[in-house]
Structure 1
Amino acid sequence: MPPTTPSLQPLAAEARLLQLDVLRGLALLGVLLVNLSVFSGSEWAIAAHSPYPMGWGGTLVQALCSALLESKAAALLAMLFGAGLAIQAETLERRGERHLPFSLRRVGALALIGLAHSFLLWNGDILLDYALISLLMLPVLHVGARRILWTIPLLWAATGLLILPLAGRIGAASSLIDQSVPFHAMSAEHYGAASWFALLKYRAWEMVNVMGPVRLSNRLPILLPFFVLGAYFWKKGFFSEPDRHKTALRRMVLVFGLLGLAANLVPRELVWSFASSLSFRPFRILIRATYFFARPGLTLGYAAGILLLLQHPLARQALRVFAPLGRMALTQYLLQSLICIWIFNGHGLGLYGKVPISHYLLGGTVLFALQVWSSHLWLDRFRMGPAEWLWRRLSYGGPQRFKLSSPPPATAKARA
């Protein structure tokens, strides 16, 4: 008889893969810098052509953050979530157990945390999106590396069926956002001045009528392929044994990295204008399709580049500093929201719409450095972050050891 699910236990710290934790920690920097444009109010102000303090070099830095990090950091985390799903399913199947019951509990627990985050702190949350995509991914986790990429069109179709009944609500939400001036004014009124209870009510309205529908129509189709790619990377061994796949990783850096950089730095209007000037229609289609897929493809260039860097001793030693942050990424992601809403919202310091872009990006970098430092301190005393403990407690259905019985030795290192 197979063992019961309460026998399941999380990976011990020494069994974790350093490269996954490093990637997860670095992705949090991109997520923070991108999200700051929403927390601060600059994104809606710029969209509405309203005045916003830019600071020294703010326009250039904001443009670079948007081009190089927007959607890419969230996509990198999506790859790691997809890999995590594949690892968990593989581990359970190796023990002769069915992965679906446990995986459903794990995804359900993440969805609960995401819902609480969305309504109580910030409705730009990505956890709920990841939970929904994970649910779609569960039936295809058994597919091998050679065929799993072919499940992307099937999962896109499933996403379309999920979105179709909400087409009217999605259209209404898009129309509201397109009216950027009144929407910006409404956001500034509530986020910049409202009490916590008034903001709670507005956030719930915005979640149901604006952010929720837009997230379904925009985020799910974009992030879903990266979940599959994360599972593919794991099954092919790119994550677990990158030293055996250096040639393939170098090709990814050259193709996806360089092509992705070009696609993200060259304005869309310029590419469309050039394509339209071509007389041969297949070339026009090819250029536009390449541009469309190359933009998010930069994420693969980032992932492959970091995996290659980790093969060099000096770079590995420098990058491993981000591993503890990656081990408690859920806690630190939620903490980013908590700190930022206190800084920018009316029930905190009320700096919504007032902090220059260059200032808040510098502040975000400092906050990230503090998160790296605090993660080291925390994991010297505890096995995991508090949010990770809650997630695992809900997922495994049994007590989880939280405190370390003794401080970890200074030489303890994550498995390469």
Structure 2
Amino acid sequence: MNQPAPIPPPKPNRATQQRLIVPDLARGTALWGIALANASTAWIVNDWTEDHTRAGWSVGGVRPGNLLDEVCAVLAAMFVHVRGLPMFSTLLGFGFGLVAASLARKGYTSKEARRVLLRRYGALALFGLAHMLLLFYGDIMLTYGLIGVLLALMFTLSGKVLRIIAYTILTCFTLLGTLGAAATYFFEDTAAGMDSPGDFASLSAYFAANFRGGLLMLVNQPFAVAQLGALTIIGYLWARERVLIDVAEHRKTLITWTVIGAAVVLCIGLPWGLAAAGVLPPELEMPFYMLNQGFGMFTGPGILAALALATDSLRNEVPAWARAFVALGKRSMSGYLAQSFLFVAIVMPFSLGLAHDAPVSGQLGAGTLVWLITLALAVLLDRAGKQGPFEWAHRHVSYGTTGRIEPKYDRVQIPA
């Protein structure tokens, strides 16, 4: 093929002339989930995460008989862990599709478009590598950049081939999660505790340990790229086929994915949370945790589909309640990177030490505080009409001095 498969131009109406609300709203919301998940799996250290015999270890720890912790454990299992990351991965593909379509409309051949896409996502990978080694070993931007580079090499493939690739990968990882759940239920639990930055007394000790952790995370990149890349392909196909743009036309697809996502939340997330809270037998916590690692990936497209259905009646008008979410979604890279700086400043023992050694309720509170600060900063930038600083830097590295995709030629406008 000589040209990438562009997204068909929208019909000239008021709704499609505006920026889509769903991607920005989803990114702003997903950043909340990512902050909550990272707070309990990476930033805040306690005895629960290292001891799988204690109830609630998988969600950050539950104090026996504490109703707040028990409720937070259920909510975290249902709506936090392996929820925001899959949704962001699907959105990565959708955004890739919009960029590819823009390049096609502006006269770029597939070869020229591929060079632009490689530069854009290669730059994202470099941003992520620096973030991983210098500040937060659990960075995801490196993975996303590598996924974008791979997708740039195959974005002209047919939808059928791309679907086969995506669903084969998802099936394999789902089977692995199922096998892992069975193994942990029928055999002795030998899984290691979750990684964390640790209980550091100084900033220099943190940086040194984080660098070592980042080097270890590099080994995991092929697996992360494969698993999250499958969701990115689905998002790319949704952009090609206008699934989030023409909601009415694709309502059946969106409803199907919404049901799939809800099924994972209710059939896996809920019992996992109840086991973590001590309502169900504790020996079920690890198996459902493992099941969620595999099946949880399906909640990414599911949550995105639910948001598209729920906001279709808005016709891309941003209501007052959504403005802050959308402002953060437009600056999602800056918001994501700001979380690392804020977690270091707020929860590390050598800084404020907020929620240090806290159970799940304190961890979710700290994660929410970090997210709210980024939300407020995004609103201030939005009111000032400013991009996020890292969005600005990324666009200029990717596209040159103008920070945008320049057309290869001026199209002749034909009156409708």
The answer to whether the superposition gives a TM-score over 0.5 is yes
What RMSD in Å do the two structures reach over aligned CA positions? 3.4
Contact 1:53-1:354 within 8 A present in 2 as well: no
Contact 2:77-2:272 within 8 A present in 1 as well: no
Q: Equivalents in 2 of 1:132, 1:302: separation in Å?
A: 24
Relative to its length, the structure with more helix (as a share) is: 1
Q: How far does residue 351 in structure 1 lie from its aligned partner after superposition?
A: 4.8
Q: Equivalents in 2 of 1:143, 1:257: separation in Å?
A: 31
Contact 2:26-2:307 within 8 A present in 1 as well: yes
Q: Equivalents in 2 of 1:21, 1:292: separation in Å?
A: 25
Q: What one-letter code is carried by the residue in structure 2 that aligns with 1:40?
A: I
Deviations 1:141-175 (A, max 9, x none): 1234444212337889xx9xxxxxxxxxxxxxxxx
Q: How far does residue 248 in structure 1 lie from its aligned partner after superposition?
A: 2.7
Change (3 A) 1:87 1:306: same
Alignment of 1:238-253 (within 5 A): 238-253=243-258
- The match for 1:77 is 88
Q: Equivalents in 1 of 2:293, 2:49: separation in Å?
A: 24
Change (3 A) 1:214 1:352: farther
Alignment of 1:6-21 (within 5 A): 16-21=19-24
Identity of aligned residues (%): 24
SS of match in other structure, 2:333:
helix
Deviations 1:167-220 (A, max 9, x none): xxxxxxxxxx9454xx87xx5xx73223222222221222223x3324543x33
Say yes or no: does 1:371 pair with 2:374: yes
- The match for 1:140 is 154
Q: What one-letter code is carried by the residue in structure 2 that aligns with 1:122?
A: F
Q: What one-letter code is carried by the residue in structure 1 that aligns with 2:141?
A: L
Number of residue-to-residue matches in the alignment: 343
Q: Equivalents in 2 of 1:379, 1:320: separation in Å?
A: 9
Deviations 1:357-409 (A, max 9, x none): 212312332443343333122112133100101111111121449xxxxxxxx
Say yes or no: does 1:225 pair with 2:230: yes
- The match for 2:205 is 198
Q: Equivalents in 2 of 1:18, 1:342: separation in Å?
A: 32
Say yes or no: does 1:121 pair with 2:130: no
Q: How far does residue 260 in structure 1 lie from its aligned partner after superposition?
A: 4.8
Alignment of 1:102-117 (within 5 A): 102-117=116-131
Deviations 1:281-311 (A, max 9, x none): xxxxxxxxx9986432222221111101102
Change (3 A) 1:155 1:298: closer
Contact 1:249-1:305 within 8 A present in 2 as well: yes
Q: Equivalents in 2 of 1:132, 1:298: separation in Å?
A: 22
Contact 2:128-2:140 within 8 A present in 1 as well: yes
Q: What one-letter code is carried by the residue in structure 1 that aligns with 2:357?
A: K
Alignment of 1:292-311 (within 5 A): 294-311=295-312
SS of match in other structure, 1:384:
coil
Contact 1:107-1:134 within 8 A present in 2 as well: yes
Q: Equivalents in 2 of 1:246, 1:399: separation in Å?
A: 38
Runs of at least 4 residues of structure 1 off by over 6 A? Answer: 153-156, 290-293
Deviations 1:43-85 (A, max 9, x none): 7335485996746522441343134322221111111111111
Q: What one-letter code is carried by the residue in structure 2 that aligns with 1:197?
A: S
SS of match in other structure, 2:312:
coil
Change (3 A) 1:316 1:350: closer
Q: Equivalents in 2 of 1:291, 1:348: separation in Å?
A: 34
- The match for 2:98 is 87
| Gaps in structure 2 of 5+ consecutive residues | 1-16, 174-189, 276-290, 405-416
Q: Equivalents in 2 of 1:389, 1:63: separation in Å?
A: 39
Q: What one-letter code is carried by the residue in structure 2 that aligns with 1:227?
A: T
- The match for 2:278 is none
SS of match in other structure, 1:193:
coil
- The match for 1:212 is 218
Q: Equivalents in 2 of 1:52, 1:146: separation in Å?
A: 44
Q: Equivalents in 2 of 1:48, 1:382: separation in Å?
A: 51
Change (3 A) 1:253 1:393: same
Alignment counterpart, residue 23 of structure 1, candidates 4, 23, 26: 26
Q: What one-letter code is carried by the residue in structure 2 that aligns with 1:212?
A: L
Q: What one-letter code is carried by the residue in structure 1 that aligns with 2:157?
A: V
